[in-house]
Amino acid sequence: MTYLKSILFLLLFQACITQLANAQVTVGVYSNGILTQLAAGTDPDRKFFGEGRLFAGDYLNRYFGAEAIGQYNFYQSDWYNVSAGLMLGYYEFDDGARVGAPVLFAFKPISNHRAFAIMMEATPMYNGALGLRGNFGLRYTIGKK
């Protein structure tokens, strides 16, 4: 039985490594002037893509926060993408969860290097009260040809 488990583990491990070797992963940094977020996600040039974000605190803002975002590309071109989706987040400073609907504009300004994008985002949010957050950021897609 342990041989069967070992073989199954090795097959699953090989499948994961194969997928990761061919995957395109994005990394980014976003800021709204108060909070900075570090992000990692899936290929943003697919119709559906996702991203996870963590707050990068400093001396004044030492609180933990995390968000998971799912996006749908409504318009895609070589120069820019427009997407919208759903955001779920947890924030230590207000002891609660937030739900939002981010609208994202990604501009790819370098014609021979489309892996780099400048991001602008507006997110209406709700956590007991309505709010609006605007982010500006940079994103790079690793593995993009």
Q: Is residue 34 part of a domain?
A: yes
Q: Is residue 91 part of a domain?
A: yes
Residue 19: the pLDDT is 47
Q: Is residue 12 part of a domain?
A: no
CATH of the domain at 119: 2.40.160.20
pLDDT, mean of residues 81-106: 89
Q: Residue 113 is which amino acid?
A: H
Bridge pairing between strands 80-91 and 130-142:
unpaired
- State both tokens at 145: 């040809």
Residue 22: the pLDDT is 54
CA–CA dist 61, 32 (Å, integer): 13
Q: Is residue 137 part of a domain?
A: yes
Q: Is residue 10 part of a domain?
A: no
Bridge pairing between strands 80-91 and 48-55:
unpaired
Q: Residue 142 is which amino acid?
A: I
Residue 17: the pLDDT is 46
Nearest to 36 by CA among 14, 13, 62, 18: 62
Residue 15 has pLDDT above 60, yes or no: no
Place of tokens 């924030």: 91
Domain total in the chain: 1
pLDDT in tens, 22-70: 567 888 999 887 888 889 998 888 999 999 998 877 776 777 888 999 9
Q: Is residue 36 part of a domain?
A: yes
Prediction pTM value: 0.76
Q: Is residue 123 part of a domain?
A: yes
CA–CA dist 65, 97 (Å, integer): 10
Residue 57: the pLDDT is 73
Residue 1: the pLDDT is 46
